Structure 1
């Protein structure tokens, strides 16, 4: 390699409205590319790179539902209208999945979004299969179902319309106040005990949120979404995730308290997870945005992961191990006890699966004429 400053793809500089600072190579490809400063100092003169546009790409899906057998996830099936997420959360555990379709888990994950126009039709087909047994399906378990592109594509709304017609229970996790757009459907489903909505709130500090989740709704808007959902009779909860040691973990009790005051009845938390490419992306992000404490943050993460940046074992990947992780778990348990959250019979496990009943299939117009 010639003399000079080698930098990661994306130049390692912040882009307005984006979380990742680089575009790591796709791990399944045999070649990799690097941006390179040839010595003229052109990269050093930049304080910020120009914005990157969002590109939408159609994905031809073969099935609607994704199934899992993970022992530490509370659902066995999920629906994801989108692959990739414009919210740009640098720590998103879904980032590595972008490599499966040939894109980088870095900036590509935020800017090259795949959408599934066939998902509602495929879902209806799968729900009509003989022998299908209904259990709560998680909407947005991988990427956010209410990310900005949903405003125009409306795939999440179409999925909810199918689930409502079939009487199928659903849980929703989102960082967007856009969930209120579908309040009409959610109110009807809630009246039948078919839906539970969870708002992910990582911090109450708007400035920190802009760095962590550049295109997600402001924390205040997410709190207001909880208020409006519960006022409409839609059960709502909060997911304080991820908790990042040395960065936002001190806010845990404040987040839970604010959400309980807004009407949330359920709560959960997840310790920061850094699988695969996310380790590089997060470390780069932390050292750029928090140079004074990045080393401390990374040291605390290692303390909760047996000396590594990640431990993928079932049972501990969500909560970590060691004294720091144990203390966080104890704080969470104490907080929800004081706030009266997570009572028995509330939340996803209490949703009604007995109402599931496929409605009569619509007869195509051409077929209707034949029957006359």
Structure 2
């Protein structure tokens, strides 16, 4: 079987399972492994054994079921399950999942030739549209990130050429202004990017609108950069930034999270580009910026230097005017309500005493974005940070 294939035999799923022949002669280690095992089921004591999947005493004692559904990846309040070897299912909330499915459907309808996608994707929603389940065919490959350093120069060049063809085709889809493929507003995950379950800022239809959407944050960031509360000085600097902010046209269809972990490969071929959650029509430079900025390692430089050079695109013409905006945003003490509510999980079981935390803001709390004007500048003491962070986290103050 290929390295990405999964195995579902007893010893694959339960490595220390003991094989019992009709007249077994067990080793000392095997006898020790099954010492004390209880194999009598009591309906009155049908306890849950796994809080993640609901496996209980009856399942364990009264069946030979080896689940072909397995959790393979989790992120915040989302989980990716494998279903056998050919399918996977995303269990996510709608705001996390909708754009991925929508963009995939759009590209499938366009019958693109050089953009590798998973072959099938089907969406299921709860009646209240709160939860979203997407079943998709499993791309039979491994992340390019995992194999890049061991590739020959010829193999690296081949993957670069495949990415060039994919991006050249993707960038042929354009729009009059920033938006998702269905025409809905595009959330800002480039400059005004918040560490929040729900994105807070939107990319404006024009460069001026985009800056205006971040007005409060940029003013506070500039104030801290200049170490002044003088409104005239702050406004002068903001107007300078706004004047120099680059025009985004053309607005091209962009993946926006094109790290090499999202490029799945097998036998010299890119099998699929996955995770289109952030995709939409962005300013022309965004794909270039995010391909480096969201890289998992320096390997991305080697790949995308070739890609963007071949496509005759670079950031030199815009970065000098983007950095002042990004730095001002970065200096602003952005915060969100609801971060103080957590649940501590108890130990998973007696033999595995691991227990993480569940954060309410990652599940269902209505976070409110605000500027925490009381947060001190770096460097500051832990006590100062705790007082500013917890003291105003629920009641935003106005600057």
TM-score by length of 1: 0.25
Q: Which has the larger radius of gyration?
A: 2
Q: Per chain length, whose mean CA-contact separation is higher, i.e. which structure has more relative contact order (CA < 8 Å, sep 6+)?
A: 1
